[in-house]
Structure 1
Amino acid sequence: MLYRVRDWDDAYANGAHIPGAETYLPQWQRDAAAFRATARHQPLGPEGVLARGDLFLPEGPPRGLAVFIHGGYWMRFDPSLWSHLAAGPLARGHAVAMPAYTLAPEARIAAMTREITAGIEAAAARIPGPIAITGHSAGGHLAARMACDDGTLNDAVAARVSACLPISPLADLRPLMRTEMNRTLHIDAAEAEAESPALLSPRAGIPVTTWVGGMERPEFIRQARLLADIWAGLGAATECVIDPGLHHFNVIAALARPDSPLTRRLLA
């Protein structure tokens, strides 16, 4: 059967295709607030965008650093909404950084990449050991950007990256140029070429797993496969995991569980 997208806005619309979609945001808010009330956390930096990010600390000396980058099509949300997703890596003894970035239209995607880089490098300066990077949706795109061989992360930090796990990533930005969202994002051909992980080379030595729900929109499944396939052809160790029965809003929930396959893969 031929696959062809006729409505690009619908192709990237998640809530319209998820039963009970309106219940997820309030639940995330409740879960995040409850987690923050008891977790040990501090800002990633003293001011600016770093101050809006969080560093969660385990009870004992950290075994390493996990990084989660939030989604929202680069236009919505902030790291605090996803605080509860730090629970899984924290329980396994890892510190968890959740960096912030300036949202569109105030910033272009290239600037967001630089801000996430700064957040990870700030956390890496405080937490020793391996660094495992994940992110969801637009955050999956930014997670994959950290594994690109274009000098995004400095060499010393990049050498510590043990895994990159983009969840439901937007690996190729060119289709987004066809959506109404681009009135806010302002992606042009040059930025799509420079900021699409699928159009860039992977940094050697970083294993990459793309992870996507089996009930997600076909475009998200295609994008997850695309990145894994292209980077495998460029020499990276990759896998695409299609998690059965999960959609775009619940595929990330397993990060809150220390023994879930998703958390295990991130920290393997």
Structure 2
Amino acid sequence: MTEMRAATHGQSRAEIDEAYANASHIPGGMDYPARWAAAAAAFRESHPPQVIVYGDGARQKLDLFRPEGVAKGAVIFVHGGFWKAFNKSVWSHLAAGALDRGWAVVMPSYTLAPEARIGAMTREIEAAIGAVAEVVPGPIRLAGHSAGGHLVARMACADLTPGWRDRVARIVPISPLSDLRPLMGATINDDLGLDEEEAVAESPVLCDQVNLPMTVWVGAAERPAFLDQARWLAERRGCDLVEAPGRHHFDVIEGLAEADSPLIQALLA
């Protein structure tokens, strides 16, 4: 894995921060969170979710959107935000694509940094999926964006042994962070608190793998660091890598809202 670390080896904190910056490199990048929140609120008005508590923590709740009729299974989307921002309610509109295809769609919140370490977030997502498995029968498909892409990729690591794993039909990490070691030198690590031991343990490219179908998805117009992270994961898994033409880190997820998009087709394949 030495070639992975070479991407930030010897770089200053400012250089690593810049390598993983997104908003400043996307036209209108600062406007996206407000747009997501508005679209999500409008979607919940017409599709009120069932809220399920999956743990004792204040953020250990998930939204369950059910389709008309019997669900084909559950699509679970884990949000990003560098493990320290956002919650389940910012992304509700992204449920539209799979919902229209007859799938129940689930969006969990989880405890964020600095209150929780990344290892604890991994276990929360494992528990959230377990709660979904109890109320939605059938196959489970996992998608996650950025830090959420990291968390769903972690579900295919052998150190986790959830009872629901044999129901997972596909995992689609979108613009995932797959090797956390470069982030130890970033300003964000002041909140994450990553040390070498946790960075290795929580990196999907470094764990023993479980044989689950996976497709790694990333925007072709993303920052080189995110393209590297996606390529490393696809290479480690020996799975398909899709570099979506013209998509950047913030709009690469928009296909989740469209029933016939290539992203939804890959997720439901």
Q: Shorter-chain TM-score: which interval?
A: over 0.9
Q: 1:43 aligned to 2:44?
A: no
8 Å contact from structure 1 (residues 43, 51) kept in 2? no
Partner Cα separation in structure 2 for residue 219 and residue 260 of structure 1: 25
Partner Cα separation in structure 1 for residue 50 and residue 167 of structure 2: 22
Q: 1:129 aligned to 2:129?
A: no
**Deviations for 1:173-193, whole angstroms, at most 9, x for unmatched residues?**
000101000001000001011
Name the CA shift for 1:219/1:46 in 2 (closer, same or farther; >3 Å): closer
Partner Cα separation in structure 1 for residue 69 and residue 221 of structure 2: 38
Structure 2 equivalent of residue 264 of structure 1 = 265
Name the CA shift for 1:45/1:165 in 2 (closer, same or farther; >3 Å): same
Structure 1 equivalent of residue 180 of structure 2 = 173
Cα drift, residue 51 of structure 1? 5.4
Partner Cα separation in structure 2 for residue 41 and residue 119 of structure 1: 16
Structure 1 equivalent of residue 89 of structure 2 = 80
Please list, as runs of the form range in 1=range in 2, the aligned pairs for 1:137-148 lying within 5 A after superposition: 137-148=146-157
Name the CA shift for 1:161/1:47 in 2 (closer, same or farther; >3 Å): closer
8 Å contact from structure 2 (residues 54, 62) kept in 1? no
Structure 2 equivalent of residue 110 of structure 1 = 119
8 Å contact from structure 1 (residues 40, 57) kept in 2? no
Q: 1:243 aligned to 2:252?
A: no
8 Å contact from structure 2 (residues 176, 226) kept in 1? yes
Letter in 2 for 1:109: I
Name the CA shift for 1:61/1:71 in 2 (closer, same or farther; >3 Å): same
**Identity over the aligned pairs, expressed in percent?**
53
SS at match of 1:199: coil
Partner Cα separation in structure 2 for residue 38 and residue 48 of structure 1: 29
Please list, as runs of the form range in 1=range in 2, the aligned pairs for 1:1-268 lying within 5 A after superposition: 5=8, 6=11, 7-45=15-53, 48-49=56-57, 52-152=61-161, 154=162, 156-204=163-211, 206-232=212-238, 238-268=239-269
Structure 1 equivalent of residue 3 of structure 2 = none
Name the CA shift for 1:4/1:265 in 2 (closer, same or farther; >3 Å): closer
Partner Cα separation in structure 2 for residue 254 and residue 124 of structure 1: 25
Partner Cα separation in structure 2 for residue 148 and residue 242 of structure 1: 24
8 Å contact from structure 2 (residues 60, 110) kept in 1? no
SS at match of 2:46: coil
Partner Cα separation in structure 1 for residue 178 and residue 55 of structure 2: 30
For the aligned residues, what is the CA RMSD? Answer: 1.4
Partner Cα separation in structure 2 for residue 151 and residue 4 of structure 1: 28
Partner Cα separation in structure 1 for residue 171 and residue 201 of structure 2: 19
8 Å contact from structure 2 (residues 144, 151) kept in 1? yes
Partner Cα separation in structure 2 for residue 46 and residue 138 of structure 1: 20
Name the CA shift for 1:171/1:214 in 2 (closer, same or farther; >3 Å): same
Structure 2 equivalent of residue 235 of structure 1 = none
Point out where structure 2 has 5 or more consecutive residues left out of the alignment. Answer: 1-5
Partner Cα separation in structure 1 for residue 158 and residue 99 of structure 2: 29
Partner Cα separation in structure 2 for residue 247 and residue 115 of structure 1: 28
Equivalent residue pairs, number: 258
Point out where structure 1 has 5 or more consecutive residues left out of the alignment. Answer: 233-237
